[in-house]
């Protein structure tokens, strides 16, 4: 299988700057060499064009930078759709999580997707519930058909892009009140840190994978590095204490790899400015490798 690396250096979806350097930080951690060592053919497609914040304006406080984020989303969707249509595996490097408005839409263009969303946040706000106006807190809601029409429908594609019943959020621990109501109404599975602590990562992942796999053509993984406890991943824009351990992150990715159904992946929110000697960028690479089949020990 060929892996297409697609960088999206966007930080327009967040208040804190720096995640636009994430694709470079992940590449710098020897991503391509390590993927090739696993036996994959790898082609780096470079970066999607993204304007910097100084080129954009905030005209709508509850939808910050929307006029720049929507064109980026269209370009991202096109790049991912092209990769999948060629029979390749799109690996999207971020950048803030607003990029998933495009990447997942591209993956879903010709496939019925199940989605695993590993994140400290559910990103299920709309312009009516957002406390910040930051669009990186809205992509999953928009993909499930909730929110401003410019985000829910980039072209004339059918709505919603995703069936909420085939979406599972894992590792959540920082949800806004209106966001919680949106999630309940949509019927999205949320397996937060409480469920992981009570039942363990194996049980949580088994339930999530079973849920998103129902009648799906494939699974897409969107992994936000702030799902991790800040001790393990200090270089993220919105750290939340009491997150996943490094081993839990690996186990989740290993179990996804075991399904044989993974067709694409985002790895997002690496903030090189806040990181310590690229610790978070290197960990992001290790999670990608685990999702694509690397095992520490499997008994062979």
DSSP 109-150: SSS-EEEEEE-SS-----TTT-SS--GGGSHHHHHTT-S-HH
**Whether 123 is catalytic:** yes
Q: Which helix (H) or strand (E) holds 6?
A: strand 2-8
Of 20, 96, 163, 224, the active-site residue reads 224
Q: Are 85 and 57 in contact (CB under 8 A)?
A: no
**Whether 229 is catalytic:** no
Of 119, 127, 179, 254, the active-site residue reads 119
Nearest to 134 by CA among 243, 240, 10: 10
**Whether 226 is catalytic:** yes
Of 4, 11, 96, 97, the active-site residue reads 97
Of 96, 136, 174, 229, the active-site residue reads 136
Of 4, 11, 96, 121, the active-site residue reads 121
Of 11, 96, 229, 269, the active-site residue reads 269
Give the span between the Cα atoms of 31 and 195, in whole angstroms. Answer: 32
Of 20, 123, 127, 163, the active-site residue reads 123
**Whether 88 is catalytic:** no
Q: Are 270 and 284 in contact (CB under 8 A)?
A: yes
**Whether 269 is catalytic:** yes
Residues 211-245: b if buried by 16+ CB within 10 A, e if exposed: bbeeebebbbbbbbbbbbbbebbbbbbbbbeebbe
**Whether 97 is catalytic:** yes
Q: Which of the residues are catalytic?
A: 97, 119, 121, 123, 136, 224, 226, 269
């Amino acid at each position: 299988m060929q892996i297409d690396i697609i960088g999206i250096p966007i930080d327009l979806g967040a208040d804190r700057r720096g995640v636009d350097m994430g694709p470079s930080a992940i590449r710098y951690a020897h991503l391509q060499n390590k993927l090739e060592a696993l036996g994959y053919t790898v082609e780096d497609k470079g970066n999607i064009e993204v304007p910097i914040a100084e080129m954009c304006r905030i005209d709508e406080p509850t939808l910050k930078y929307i006029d720049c984020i929507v064109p980026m989303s269209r370009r991202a969707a096109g790049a991912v759709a092209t990769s999948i249509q060629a029979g390749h595996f799109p690996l999207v490097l971020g950048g803030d999580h607003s990029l998933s408005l495009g990447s997942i839409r591209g993956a879903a263009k010709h496939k019925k997707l199940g989605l695993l969303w590993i994140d400290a946040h559910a990103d299920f706000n709309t312009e009516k519930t957002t406390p910040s106006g930051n669009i990186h807190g809205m992509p999953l809601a928009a993909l499930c058909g909730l929110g401003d029409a410019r985000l829910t429908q980039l072209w004339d594609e059918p709505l919603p892009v995703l069936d909420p019943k085939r979406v599972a959020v894992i590792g959540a621990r920082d949800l806004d009140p209106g966001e919680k109501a949106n999630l309940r109404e949509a019927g999205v599975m949320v397996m937060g840190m409480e469920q992981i602590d009570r039942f363990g990562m194996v049980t949580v992942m088994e339930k999530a994978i079973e849920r998103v796999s129902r009648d799906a053509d494939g699974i897409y993984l969107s992994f936000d590095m702030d799902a991790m406890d800040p001790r393990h991943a200090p270089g993220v824009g919105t750290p939340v204490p009491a997150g996943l351990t490094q081993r839990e992150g690996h186990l989740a990715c290993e179990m996804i790899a075991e399904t044989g159904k993974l067709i694409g992946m985002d790895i997002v929110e690496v903030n090189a400015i806040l990181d310590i000697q690229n610790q978070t960028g290197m960990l992001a690479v290790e999670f990608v490798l685990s999702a694509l089949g690397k095992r520490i020990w499997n008994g062979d």
